[in-house]
Structure 1
C-alpha cells in the first residue's frame, strides 16, 4: 500500500461545511427544520391518539394505509409493508410514543443547535421512513435540508449550544486540534 494522499477541499464546500462564516445560513435552515419537527411532535405528544389513552390508534391507521398502498400498487414496497405488518403495527402503541417524542426532541435539538448533526440525522431517518410509507407531503424537502445539516454538522450549530457542547465532547473546536 502507498502513502495516504489528502485531497484538498474545494473553497465552496469548505465555506459551507467548515467555516463559521456560513453558520448563519445553517441557522436559518436549522430553525425552519426545527420548527417543522417541533410542531409535528407537539401535535402528537398532545394527541390522545398518539400518546394518550388511545395511544397507537393514529399510528395504526397511518400504517395500515401504507400497507394497503403496497397491495394496490407500487407506492410502498412489499418488503417495507412486511416490516410494517410484522413489527411496527404490533408495536404501534410503544412506537407512537417513540415517534411523537422523537419528533419533539429532533425539533428541540435543531432549534437549540444541540447535537445538530445527530438531530438532523434522526429527522432525516424519520423522513425516509415516512417516504417509504408512501407519504410525500414535505418529507422530500425536509429530508434534503436535514441531509445538508448532517454535512454541515461542524458549523451548523455554531449559533447554538453546539458551540460549547462539541468542544466538551472533543470535536470539532477543541483546543488540541492536531494538524498532520
Structure 2
C-alpha cells in the first residue's frame, strides 16, 4: 500500500509493507550494522540506542565515489519502533555537539506491528518542508528519496525474510 500526502506538498513519504518475519527479526535488520549493509548498501556504525550518532556511507562500486550522511537515532524500542534523523548539514547544526532536530534534518520512522506470522512495517519520512529548501530543490530531494525508499524497502523485506528463514 502506498500513500503520499499531496505531491504538491512534499510533506512526507509513507509506505506500508508486509514482511514474512517477526517484529524481532525486522527490528534486527533495521538496526544492526551488518544487516543495514545488506539492505541499504551503507557502511555504518549504527548503535541502536536513542541519542546515538553515527554515519551512513555509500560507495559507488563503479566509480569508487563515496557519499556519507550523518544520522542520529531518535527512538529504539525493540521490537516496535526504530526512528532516526538524517541528511543534516553538520555545520548548520553546530557540528557534532548539536543534535539533529526539526528544521535541519529528515525524520525516518519504522513502526513494526505483528501481523499473523509476520510484520506490517509502517515507514514514514518527514521534514522536507521544514528544511526551508526552495521549491525545485525540495521537489528533487523528495522525488529522489521516494524512488530510493521504494527500492530499499523491498530489499529490507527480502533481507528480513532471508534472516527469518535461517532461524
Larger Rg: 1
Greater share of strand residues, 1 or 2?
Answer: 2
Instruction: Give the TM-score normalised by structure 1.
Output: 0.23
Greater share of helix residues, 1 or 2?
Answer: 1
Instruction: Give the TM-score normalised by structure 2.
Output: 0.24
